[in-house]
Amino acid sequence: MNALSRADELVERIDTDNLPEAGYWYTPEFFLGQRAFVLDALGDAQSASRTAAESLAAMPEAWQTAEWAGRRRALAQLGER
């Protein structure tokens, strides 16, 4: 969990006003979704689902419905069951 805490600290430092053109998606909400995958891999499905839902809610609508976000949507839906 120390690694997750360190990752959270780094995400807080992201300068979203100066993202590289080739990495426009390197936003806090994107990395929050990555955190959801880690939580799921660690066996914390409830937190993973909640975190995935938070990530999607914070993303632009076009990202929320994008094909690449399908795994995030599936993970978020686990908490709805």
Residues of the chain short of pLDDT 70, as ranges, are 1, 81
SS3 31: helix
**pTM score of the predicted model:** 0.83
**Other beta carbons within 10 Å of 46:** 11
The whole-number pLDDT of residue 59 equals 94
First-to-last alpha carbon distance for the chain, in angstroms, is 27
Tokens representing 10?
A: 């780094």
The whole-number pLDDT of residue 1 equals 62
Domain positions in the chain are 2-15+22-80
d(CA 75, CA 63): 15
The whole-number pLDDT of residue 5 equals 81
**Residue 45: half-sphere exposure toward Cβ, Cα within 13 Å:** 7
The whole-number pLDDT of residue 50 equals 96
